[in-house]
Amino acid sequence: MINGEKVLDHPIRWAMVGGGRGSQIGYIHRSAALRDRSFELVAGAFDINPERGKDFGIQLGVAPERCYPDYKTMLMEEAKRSPEDRIEAVTIAVPNGLHYAVCKAVLEAGFHAVCEKPLCFTTEQAEELVHLADSKGLVVGVTYGYSGHQLIEQARQMVLHGDLGEIRLIKMQFPFGAYNTAVEETNAAARWRMDPAKAGPSFVLGDVGTHPLFLAETMVPDFEIESLMCTTKSFIPTRKLEDNAFVIMNLKGGAQATCWASAINCGALHGQKVRIVGSKASVEWYDERPNQLTYEIEGEPVRILERGGAYLYPSARAEDRISGGHTEGLFDAWSNLYRRFAIAMEKANKGEKADFWYPDVHAGAEGVKWVEKCVESAKKGAVWVKY
Ligand code: INS
């Protein structure tokens, strides 16, 4: 049970790049990081507009001289402060096209990072970030935020304990609606997501497909793709990137997986689901009902496992913030991840490795490779490509 008691020697001194006034995602980063006092917000380059960014930082309680006009100045100025006072970690919450450059600069400056997904655009860039983080003993947490929901850990434990039998099929989907017309003409948040310069080589595969991919990798610890085939389409002809994608994957060990990522699934909100089918039973998790995990044993009535239930595996109850029956939301899931990022960062500061999972730089790199391979397959005419 998490009750806000201190778990670190001191809160990680933390800064943000982006996430300022008007950002869709800045507030969830702050509320997740600050909630358990695992982080303390001491600096930031919050906005592309320096005045607005400074004003915003001051409103958040950051000292005016530590509200910087841009990330480069921030990294340079913070490095001049004494080691007990300078920042230790930076969250990168800027549009996708800047993730690689900012993350690289943060790691080169010797600070831990928390980066929005996708980590970057190419496997080459991802490998560079993996190497930088590993060689410097720095933590990179990637905000695959849904993975902090407690029932994801329950599904993982069920797979590890053999409750489902041998894993045969994994069905992933994140097919949301609302972009079934050219909404990007009037909606700025939609526009950059479909602009190759800002979003990279894909829209829905990277923007939403990588979420259930990481969930599946977490639930099925030996998930490893051997080959994949992908077909993509832009149903709105003016879009330069795909608004619908289907992926089929062969996994090492013989299991098969599919992923449907879409922005044109009329009527759907998120529709994000992961179903794992074993030789004895299946489990299914749906992000709009995160407090329930469906457990279907062949030949028996369906069971619904509830968050907080005494019958769950202990590690699936360890991050309870309030007992079962009370709904858990995405803010709680992100807070669970930020807590793990902080503990991993403190361990790294002491030269130790984390003995628990969290979406790390390798998970970020895997998402980048997956998108790259899907795009390669789709461009070659939906053919199988080696992974
Ligand atoms: C989705 C959703 C995802 C986010 C995507 C966004 O609507 O909010 O969590 O990662 O970028 O397009």
pLDDT digit string (tens) for 237-273? 999 999 999 999 999 999 999 999 999 999 999 999 9
- CA distance linking residue 97 with residue 119, whole number of Å: 10
Number of neighbours of residue 271 by Cβ within 10 angstroms: 18
Ligand 1 centroid vs 128 CA: distance in angstroms? 26
Q: In what order do the strands lie in the sheet with 12-18?
A: 39-45, 12-18, 89-93, 112-115, 140-142
Q: For ligand 1, atom 9, which residue shows the shortest CA distance?
A: 208
| Together in a domain, 136 and 172 | no
Q: How far is CA 129 from the centre of its chain?
A: 16
Kindly state whether residue 332 falls inside one of the protein's structural domains: no
| Together in a domain, 180 and 221 | yes
| Together in a domain, 184 and 166 | yes
Residue stretches of the chain with pLDDT short of 70: none
| Residue 385, both tokens | 């490509």
In this predicted model, what pLDDT tens digit does every residue of 163-203 receive, in sequence order? 999 999 999 999 999 999 999 999 988 999 999 999 999 99
Ligand 1 centroid vs 97 CA: distance in angstroms? 16
Is the ipTM higher than 0.85? The answer is yes
| Together in a domain, 243 and 259 | yes
| Residue 120, both tokens | 């970057």
Q: Which pTM was predicted? A: 0.96
Going by the DSSP 8-state scheme, the letter that residue 67 receives in this structure is: B
* pLDDT value of residue 284: 98
- CA distance linking residue 161 with residue 314, whole number of Å: 13
In this predicted model, what pLDDT tens digit does every residue of 4-17 receive, in sequence order? 999 999 999 999 99
Q: For ligand 1, atom 12, which residue shows the shortest CA distance?
A: 207
| Together in a domain, 288 and 313 | yes
Ligand 1 centroid vs 100 CA: distance in angstroms? 19
| Together in a domain, 374 and 355 | no
Kindly state whether residue 45 falls inside one of the protein's structural domains: yes
CATH number of the domain that 356 lies in? 3.40.50.720
Ligand 1 centroid vs 173 CA: distance in angstroms? 13
| Together in a domain, 314 and 172 | yes
Report DSSP letters for 221-239, one per residue: TT--EEEEEEEEE-SSTT-
| Residue 298, both tokens | 């062949």
> Measured between alpha carbons, how far is residue 335 from residues 62, 93, 311 in Å?
21, 16, 24
| Together in a domain, 137 and 23 | yes
- CA distance linking residue 241 with residue 232, whole number of Å: 9
Ligand 1 centroid vs 147 CA: distance in angstroms? 14
Tell me if residue 129 falls in helix, strand or coil. helix
Ligand 1 centroid vs 207 CA: distance in angstroms? 6
Q: For ligand 1, atom 3, which residue shows the shortest CA distance?
A: 208
Do 290 and 328 meet the contact criterion of CB atoms below 8 Å apart?
A: yes
Counting from 1 in the atom list of ligand 1, the atom nearest the Cα of 116 is 10
Kindly state whether residue 3 falls inside one of the protein's structural domains: no
- CA distance linking residue 346 with residue 40, whole number of Å: 13
* pLDDT value of residue 69: 98
Q: For ligand 1, atom 2, which residue shows the shortest CA distance?
A: 208
Ligand 1 centroid vs 204 CA: distance in angstroms? 10
Kindly state whether residue 241 falls inside one of the protein's structural domains: yes
* pLDDT value of residue 22: 87
Kindly state whether residue 308 falls inside one of the protein's structural domains: yes
| Together in a domain, 113 and 160 | no
If one residue of 207, 243, 337 were mutated to test the ligand 1 pocket, choosing by the most ligand atoms within 8 A of its CB, it would be: 207
| Residue 133, both tokens | 């983080």
Please name the amino acid found at residue 309: G
Ligand 1 centroid vs 14 CA: distance in angstroms? 24
Kindly state whether residue 7 falls inside one of the protein's structural domains: no
Question: Domain range holding 259?
Answer: 151-321+366-386
Counting from 1 in the atom list of ligand 1, the atom nearest the Cα of 189 is 12
| Together in a domain, 191 and 247 | yes
Do 315 and 333 meet the contact criterion of CB atoms below 8 Å apart?
A: no
Ligand 1 centroid vs 90 CA: distance in angstroms? 21
Kindly state whether residue 287 falls inside one of the protein's structural domains: yes
* pLDDT value of residue 24: 87
* pLDDT value of residue 189: 84
CATH number of the domain that 313 lies in? 3.30.360.10
| Together in a domain, 230 and 288 | yes
Q: What are phi and psi of 302, to 5 degrees?
A: -65, 140
Helix (H) or strand (E) holding 292: strand 292-297
Please name the amino acid found at residue 366: E
> Measured between alpha carbons, how far is residue 238 from residues 63, 193, 241, 258, 264 in Å?
45, 14, 9, 27, 14
Domain count, the chain: 2
Q: For ligand 1, atom 1, which residue shows the shortest CA distance?
A: 208
Compute the CA torsion angle 139, 141, 147, 148 (nearest 10 deg): 80
Going by the DSSP 8-state scheme, the letter that residue 209 receives in this structure is: I
Q: For ligand 1, atom 11, which residue shows the shortest CA distance?
A: 207
Kindly state whether residue 4 falls inside one of the protein's structural domains: no
If one residue of 96, 208, 215 were mutated to test the ligand 1 pocket, choosing by the most ligand atoms within 8 A of its CB, it would be: 208
Tally the residues of the chain. Answer: 387
> Measured between alpha carbons, how far is residue 112 from residues 36, 201, 324, 344 in Å?
19, 27, 34, 10
Tell me if residue 350 falls in helix, strand or coil. coil
| Together in a domain, 36 and 182 | no
* pLDDT value of residue 118: 94
Tell me if residue 1 falls in helix, strand or coil. coil
Ligand 1 centroid vs 174 CA: distance in angstroms? 10
* pLDDT value of residue 328: 83
Residues touching ligand 1 (Cβ under 6 Å) are 176, 207-208
Q: For ligand 1, atom 5, which residue shows the shortest CA distance?
A: 207
